[in-house]
Amino acid sequence: MRGIVSSGTYVMLGNHAIAEGAIAAGCRFCAGYPITPASEIIEKMSERLPEVNGIFIQMEDEIASISSVVGASLAGAKAMTATSGPGFSLMQEWISAACALEVPLVIVDVQRGSPSTGQVSEPQQGDVMQARWGGNGDYEVIALAPATCQEMFDFAIDAFNLSEIYRVPVIILADALVSHMREKVVIPKYNEIRRKVVERRRPDGDPKKYIPYTYDDPNTGELRIPPPPQFGTKYYPLMTWTATRDEMGVYREEPEANLTLIRRICDKIRNNVNSIVRLQTMFIDDADLIVVAYGTPARTALRAVKEVRAKGIKAGFLRLVTVWPFGEKVVRKTIRKAKKIVVPEINYGQLYWEIERVASKEDAEVFLVPQASKLHEPNEIVRKILEVY
Amino acid sequence: MVNLKSTSKEEIPEHPLLKLTTSSKMLGSYINFFCPGCGYGIIAQCINRAFVKLKIDPIKYPQIVGIGCHSLLAFLIPGPAMMVLHGRAIPFATGIRLANPEVKPIVIVGDGDCLSIGTNHFVHGARRNVNITVLLMNNLIYGMTGGQSSPTTPTGSRTRTSVYGCVERSIDAVELAKTCGATYIARWTTAQPRLLTKAIIEAIQHKGFSFIDIITPCMTYFGRFNRKAKPADMYRWLKSNSVSLHHAEKMSVEELKSKIIIGKFVERKDVSILYEEYEKIFKRAQGRGES
């Protein structure tokens, strides 16, 4: 038996790393439905969770998976599910509902060749916009894009932490490449991880005074995110709804109440963009051209930048670790001096539009390097850089 | 749509179970959302009586409610109640039950909820024998959306989406539950409230997936278009069409056509519940490699 954290240095499959990371972060409930290329996550979870008194259940479809994950999270367990594009599409109704109900949970979306059934074990970044806009109505989620197997482990912990802090579904946008790759993964000691993990907050005090959902502080006007309600305790409202509700969970029919709800669930993320968003930059200071990438293409992009640098081109590298919320201000500040932006994405242009929107404010031109079902080769990006520079 | 004004105490004496309900705890009075003749008030009464009789803490028995007219039933029962997405109540309750085995969710679903959009979840909930109680509010119609035909609408009935008569055959929820391995199955109508109350008590006490198919009249959208315009007609129809399981065994298939068979169909105590199986798995996983 390995205990909660299987510390050590391994050559580990990306999908297994994410499962280990989730368990280290305190995940004790996982529901899933088999789908290539995410199946190894639920396979590992079914092996590892019983060792730590956690529940893994294989549900009848992805909708049931996320339904039970939302239920488990509201019963007090840190919970996650793992899927790929087609399953992620099925989950959208609950992602929208989980945002409205402010349920902390983690969804791993291992993206595969798309649209439709696509090419099942090839990588693609086809669900980037779906992660943000897939469900009905206005909401904000957090999405992280890992590029290495080590990051699969680390981001799993980060994802659980963010979901607990902001009470929001966090989506890990991996792809078939990083999930089916074996790389060096260092899993730290239990105590080291323990310090990093954000525990589930439990409501306390007078149950009558407990406010279950995000509310405006009457004194400062700031948004306060209370601990989530919990089934089986006194801290569960008498009546809660997936329908529009106020901060006490009471159903509201007036239009103003819906705007208040949307403002709260969106602004709790938007107001904290600076503390959520993480970027990685290299060679930015003197760059006239910046390659902006996220997920696995960031690896090729960095190689391409280094190659053109050797040729004397002042190219820079910017990696978006957090894809959503989009760090507009900080991205804009980073690309200010550059006149040209190159965006390699394994799709036909998704986050490209968001980057173009921001770059156009700085009068920079944006060029897409599209690809599908495979990672770019470095010279594809190099060629584009030489073409537009 | 909703009249939130309380009825003054002089007009009507207070209901003995009022204090128990969410409606009373939230608003201090009784509110009724249902049409005249609707059976949901009777069902709420039966659920409340079951809670009183069992002397259980409602906090440990949260009510997970689907979407439909029966969502509003949540106001008339003890709570805490949660209205989830359409059709997703059973997997949601499964998640709660597995993450916190002290809690036994009571799932209240409608016929559209449970037998149309959520059939898949119903089938697999029963197969897993997860320890939840499912009460099916079977009013033979989609009431909240305005009277469209549902999977349990009898063949030939007129509804808003089958104006020339429903051409499809209806589904028998009890037979489906039997096939899927539910360990407590009963069917009653709102014309037998005492027997229904008894069944709800048994279902809550039962360890495993317990299921009651409750046939309840919808006057506004079913009775009105199907020659049962008055509540009394509808209840007469329910009573005259109900055949007890005991009698049904002696009747031919032809005689049983369009009859409602009522009674307790299955009660099995030999099947272990899902969480008990997980407890065994914990031991096996944690004992591995220790010797």
- Residues 120 to 139 of B: which have CB under 8 A from any A CB? 120-121, 123-124
Q: For residues B211 and B265, give the distance between their C-alpha atoms in angstroms, rounded to a whole number.
A: 10
Q: What is the CA radius of gyration of chain A?
A: 21
Q: For residues B172 and B258, give the distance between their C-alpha atoms in angstroms, rounded to a whole number.
A: 11
For the segment A31-51, the average pLDDT, to the nearest whole number, is 95
- Angle formed at CA B111 by CA B173 and CA B103, multiple of 5 degrees: 85
Inter-chain touch B289–A1, beta carbons under 8 Å: yes
Residue A281, pLDDT > 50, answer yes
pLDDT of residue B4: 55
Of A67, A72, A242, the CB nearest to B98: A72
Q: For residues A277 and B54, give the distance between their C-alpha atoms in angstroms, rounded to a whole number.
A: 52
* Inter-chain contacts counted by CB atoms under 8 A, chains A and B: 139
Output the six-digit token pair for B29.
């009075």
pLDDT of residue B1: 44
Give me the architecture of the B39-280 domain, per CATH. 3-Layer(aba) Sandwich (3.40)
pLDDT of residue B291: 43
- The angle that helices B89-99 and A62-74 make with each other, rounded to 10 degrees, is 50
Residue B25 and residue B79 in contact, taking contact as beta carbons nearer than 8 Å: yes
Inter-chain touch B80–A236, beta carbons under 8 Å: yes
Residue B8, pLDDT > 60, answer no
**Buried/exposed code over B75-90 (b: 16+ C-beta within 10 A; e: otherwise):** bbbbbbbbbbbbbbbb
Q: Can you give the residue ranges of every domain in chain B?
A: 39-280
Question: pLDDT tens across A9-18, in order?
Answer: 999 999 999 9
Is the Cβ of A211 closer than 8 Å to some Cβ of chain B? no
Give B124's DSSP letter.
Answer: H
Query: Chain B residue with minimal CA distance to A97?
Result: B85
Is the Cβ of B103 closer than 8 Å to some Cβ of chain A? yes
Tell me how long chain A is.
389
Domains and CATH numbers, chain A: 8-196 (3.40.50.970), 207-273 (no CATH), 279-388 (3.40.50.920)
For the segment A226-238, the average pLDDT, to the nearest whole number, is 93
Output the six-digit token pair for B34.
């249902």
pLDDT of residue B289: 52
Is the Cβ of A4 closer than 8 Å to some Cβ of chain B? no
Q: How do strand B81-83 and strand A279-282 relate by DSSP bridges?
A: unpaired
pLDDT of residue B230: 87
Of B26, B62, B94, the CB nearest to A236: B62
Mean pLDDT value across chain B: 90
Residue B11, pLDDT > 70, answer no
Residue A150 and residue A171 in contact, taking contact as beta carbons nearer than 8 Å: no
Q: What distances in angstroms separate CA B96 from CA A73, A230, B47, B180, B291, one per listed residue? A: 8, 10, 21, 21, 34
- Residue % of chain A over a pLDDT of 70: 100
Half-sphere exposure of A104 (CA within 13 A, CB side): 30
Query: Chain B residue with minimal CA distance to A235?
Result: B59
- Beta strands across the sheet bearing A279-282: A279-282, A315-320, A289-293, A340-344, A365-369
Inter-chain touch B281–A77, beta carbons under 8 Å: no
Residue A171 and residue A141 in contact, taking contact as beta carbons nearer than 8 Å: yes
Q: For residues A192 and A257, give the distance between their C-alpha atoms in angstroms, rounded to a whole number.
A: 44
What residues does B25 pair with on adjacent strands?
A: none
- Put simply, whether the predicted model's pTM sits higher than 0.90 gets the answer yes
pLDDT of residue B272: 92
Sort out which chain B residues have CB atoms less than 8 A from A103's CB and list them.
none
Inter-chain touch A72–B81, beta carbons under 8 Å: no
Residue B9, pLDDT > 60, answer no
Inter-chain touch A75–B120, beta carbons under 8 Å: no
- For an interface test with B, which of A238, A248, A250, A251 has the most B Cβ atoms less than 10 Å from its Cβ? A238
Residue B61 and residue B77 in contact, taking contact as beta carbons nearer than 8 Å: no
Inter-chain touch B84–A237, beta carbons under 8 Å: no
**Complex confidence, ipTM:** 0.95
Q: What is the DSSP string of A139-181?
A: ---EEE---SHHHHHHHHHHHHHHHHHHTSEEEEEEEHHHHS-
Sort out which chain A residues have CB atoms less than 8 A from B103's CB and list them.
75, 231-232
